[in-house]
Structures are given as structure tokens and as C-alpha cells.
Amino acid sequence: MRKKLVSILLATVTTVSLAACGSSTASTTASSTAGDSTATATSDASAAASESTDTAAATAATTAVNVDTANEGDDTLSVYAWDANFNIPALKDAEKDYQDNVDPNFKLNIIQASQSSDVENAITLAASAGDYSTLPDIVLFQDHYFHKYVTDYPDAFQSVDDAGVDWTDFGAEKLSYSTVDNKHYGFPVDNGTVIMAYRVDLLKQAGYTIDDMKGISWDDFIKIGQEVYAKTGKYLLSMDGDGNDLVYMMLQAEGVSQFKDNTTPYISDNKTLVEVVNKIVEMQQKNVLYLANDWSEYTDQTIMGDMVAGVMNGNWIIPTIEQVKDNSGKWEITTMPTLEGNGKEGYASNGGSSLYITANCKKADLAKKFLAYTFGGSTVTYDGALKDGGVITTCISAGKSDAYQAGVAYFNNQPIYSQIVAMGANVPVIQQSDYHYDCRTQIAAAIQNIIGGADATSALKDAEDQLNMDMGN
């Protein structure tokens, strides 16, 4: 056996990963049984628009994490992941599940990254060096980035089509991220399904209930939001104005994308997108939506600072909502509004990650067996991940366990976890692009310009032109 060197690029122009960013430096932990953890706000979708991998490789400084595998046997796998309070507890629960029910000698060697971009940069560095032997057996990877990396580095990952997983037991939208050219590469981990959460006590002050918010149109939402603001002084919605995910989520609920294909933006002549942008601007102008200056203001001031009566984002936002202990029992969730309304419920997803087997894994059969048994559908793994890290599964059958059916006190005893899994199964699959975050940056800027008085048509056309330029079109 030999000592592996897992190299990490630390980009000087960094991708700010707001999803599951641990504050600690990269480290190796010998995992054992899962401990008690308190979930923190995590968002794989909220990473800032990344520089191209070529630029990152050219401008990055490198450092290394030494993983001593000299004493590892045939029953040990190394995995690279981030967030000590979210993904890593889920991996520890999977390890214990496999030890208890399949192989008591099995061990996971968990390499803890400081943030999700470290994993992406490790792939970039290995590919640039033409040497994948620096990689661990398994990596956790952000969903929105995977297609780009498997396109750029097709030899970096191994297909898992023969892992024996019932892929129909997962939401189609979730699988669309880890499936390339009809080949499965990843095992889904966390669920990015969007929730629409409301302070029901504040809705009541304006004369509404949670049932009144289900299947409504965005026009209805605006009307109710104005009444809530007039009665309570609270906004019905907020979002990070720079990293504005509203457009993507609202569009996906309509089954529409910002792209015609991977490299062709669909913005200025996209009637649905234009309507969505107009609704966002209208919400901001009518004190229904508060657009924060940055992510910190969005989470710390608008949500934890108790400025809002509603929150719409991937369900990973739940731990942020729960930080305000005095509001326990006052929140409930439902589905998103849609442009049409009239009972039509909206479903979208924002964020999430999956586990992938790297080209360097010499024990691919073991890796597939371990991942298929645990994240492929084990209620023991997913129940533990929910309890210890707040990780919600996208596996439909696992979402039917007692742990998922239980009411959650903070959300007025709603069984929100089973609701989220059921909602996730209805999220429409739309065209994705390697330039998802670049597009988000340009449209967010266009919205700010429109709010500032710019012509909407011109602002969106400018955004599309700039995006095409950034993409090299």
C-alpha cells in the first residue's frame, strides 16, 4: 500500500461556496460512528459564478493534504467532501450502516475540504497534470457543475450503470445532473427541492392561511404580499440581489430554462423569462420582495433578522430559518406559486450534490456496492443523515420512513421532510448548462438595472450579449 497525495487547488480568484462551506481548513478525519451535529445553512446552488477551470488552474496556488493509507486494507475507501455539519455526518452514517449490516471491517477515510470548490479544483489539478492518481476513491460534487467537469475531463470519473440501483426510485430532475449521455455517474445525496415557507402567524394578521398560499399565481402572491407588508411591516419574500436564484426557480416551476442547449442562452426572446423578471421587479417595487445586497444580508438580516414573512429557496435554507428560536411553531411550508395559478402548484430545485467514483479508484466494485447499499436507498443511512446533518434524501422510498413522516415542531408539526421528498419527485427536468452561474450573474445585474430605471428589453438583451461574450460565442 502507498501514501496518497490528495492535491487541492486554492484559487486566488475563489468560487464563494455558500453551500456547505466549512470554516476549517482541509483535514483528514478517521470516521467512526456518527456524532450529534447541528445542521447549518447550506447551499450548493449559491456558489458565486466560477471562473473557467483553465483560469483557475493558471491563477491558483496549490497546497496538499497528505492521506496516510499505508495501513488501509481492501475494505477501506477514501472520500473527499465538505461541511462538517451537513455532508460529512451523512457519510459517517452511511459508513456505520454498512458496517452494521454488510461488512464490520469496512471503513471510510473522509478527507474534509474547507469548501466545495476545493473538490472541483482537485479534479482540475489532477487533469491538468494528467495524473488522476492524486484523487481519492470518491468525491462529493455539486450538481450544477458536474456536466461541465465530465465534459472537460471525461476520463476522471467511472460510470456506475452496473451498480444495481433502482434509479426510478429517485426524482428525475435530481438524476439529470449525474446522468450524461444516458450513463449514470453519481449517487444522489442531498435534496435541493425548493420550499415556500411562510410565517402563518403573520399571514393570519393579513387574513390568510397556509392553504390560501397553495396553487396561487404570482399576481395573487403580490396582492397578498402587499397586505402582509401593510399589516406587519414584513416582506413576503427576500433574496440575495447579486446571487439572485429567483429567476431560475420561478422558470423551472414553469418547465422553462434559461438555455436552449448547453451553450445557447435563451433570455431576450424567452417570453416566460421576461414575464418572470417583470414579476420580480414588481414585487420589489411594491414592498413584497426585499433584494439584499449580498448573501450575508439575505441570511443574517432578512431571515435571521426577522424581516420576512416568507422564504423561498432550496430546502437547505431550513436551518437558517430555524436559527430564530422564538419563531418555532410559527412556520409552515407549501409549494411555490406559478404564473398561471388557479390551483397549479410550482415545483423547482436549487442546489444539491452527489457522490462520484473517480478514475483512481482501484476498488470500484466495493465503492459501487457501498454507495448502492447506502445512498442508493437505505432508510438507515438516510434517517441518520437527516437526524445528524439535516440532509434530506431524494430517494422516494427512503422518504416514507417513520423519521420522514414525523411532524417537525418548528414547522407547526408538519411532516415537512416527507412533503419535500414528494415535492422533489414532481420537479420538471429542464435544460441545464455549464454556464448556469454565469447566467445568474448577468440576469441578476439586469434586474438591478431595471429596478434602477433601465428599459427591461434592453437590459435583458445586454445581459444575453454579455453572457454570450463570456461563453465565447
pLDDT digits (tens, 9 = 90+) for 106-132: 999 999 998 888 999 999 999 999 999
End-to-end CA distance of the chain: 48
Which residues does residue 332 pair with via DSSP β-bridges, in sequence order? 198
Q: How far is CA 325 from CA 132, 306, 404, 411, 464, in A?
A: 46, 11, 22, 12, 43
Strands of 216-345, DSSP E:
237-240, 259-261, 264-265, 289-292, 310-314, 331-334
Structural domains in the chain, sorted by start: 4-191+352-400 (3.40.190.10), 194-348+430-471 (3.40.190.10)
- 313-334: buried (b, 16+ CB within 10 Å) or exposed (e) per residue? bbbbbbbbbbebeebeebbbbb
List, in order, residues 6 or more apart from 61 with CB less than 8 Å away: 9, 10, 12
CA separation for the pair 103, 164 (Å, rounded) = 18
Please report the pLDDT score of residue 145 as a whole number: 87
- Here the cell at position 41 is 445553512
Residue 385 near residue 374, CB atoms below 8 Å: no
Please report the pLDDT score of residue 71 as a whole number: 55
**Nearest one of 168, 165, 145 to 157, comparing CA atoms:** 145
pLDDT digits (tens, 9 = 90+) for 187-207: 999 999 999 999 999 999 999
Please report the pLDDT score of residue 114 as a whole number: 87
Per-residue pLDDT of the chain (473 residues; tens, 9 = 90+): 333 333 333 332 233 333 333 323 333 333 333 233 233 333 333 333 333 333 333 333 334 444 544 455 799 999 999 998 899 999 999 999 999 999 999 999 999 998 888 999 999 999 999 999 889 999 999 998 899 899 899 999 999 999 999 999 999 999 999 999 999 999 999 999 999 999 999 999 999 999 999 999 999 999 999 999 999 999 999 999 999 999 999 999 999 999 999 899 999 999 999 999 999 999 999 999 999 999 999 999 999 999 999 999 999 999 899 999 999 999 999 999 999 999 999 999 998 999 999 999 999 999 999 999 999 999 999 999 999 999 999 999 999 999 999 999 999 999 999 999 999 999 999 999 989 999 999 999 999 999 999 999 999 999 999 999 999 99
**Nearest one of 123, 143, 185 to 46, comparing CA atoms:** 143
CA separation for the pair 267, 251 (Å, rounded) = 11
Task: Using DSSP bridges, classify how beta strands 183-184 and 179-180 pair: parallel, antiparallel or unpaired.
Answer: antiparallel
Task: Say if residue 233 is exposed, middle or buried (CB neighbours under 10 Å; 0-12, 13-18, 19+).
Answer: exposed
- Here the cell at position 462 is 445586454
- Here the cell at position 298 is 439575505
Please report the pLDDT score of residue 72 as a whole number: 59
Please report the pLDDT score of residue 85 as a whole number: 86
Residue 90 near residue 190, CB atoms below 8 Å: yes
Please report the pLDDT score of residue 42 as a whole number: 37
The mean of the pLDDT values for the chain is: 87
Please report the pLDDT score of residue 50 as a whole number: 35
CA separation for the pair 468, 472 (Å, rounded) = 6
Please report the pLDDT score of residue 358 as a whole number: 96
